[in-house]
Amino acid sequence: MRIEAAELRILELPLKFRFETSFGVQTKRTILLLRLFGEGLEGLGEGVMERLPLYREET
């Protein structure tokens, strides 16, 4: 598929309940949505990331 256009959206979704740890309090999540268009087709992708570059044992 040859990509002819791309659409990128950043959404901030409120959490139903706040999430609190020793790092702070979260009341929303940031979601990245990507749509790719080409040759009559459409592809979708998503990414969920933290607002700050946190490092954990899995990093």
User: What residues pair up with 47 in beta bridges, in sequence order?
Assistant: 32
What residues make up the domain containing 9?
Answer: 5-49
Q: pLDDT by residue (tens digit) across 1-56? A: 799 999 999 999 899 999 888 878 889 888 999 999 999 999 999 987 776 666 66
- How many independent structural domains does the chain possess? 1
> Is residue 29 one of the residues assigned to a domain?
yes
Q: The domain that contains 14 carries what CATH number?
A: 3.30.390.10
The region, left, alpha or beta by phi > 0 then psi within -120 to 50, assigned to residue 31 is beta
> What pLDDT is recorded for position 39?
94
Rounded Cα gap, residues 49 and 59, in angstroms: 14
E-assigned strand segments in 1-59: 5-21, 24-38, 41-49
| pLDDT of residue 59 exceeding 60 | no
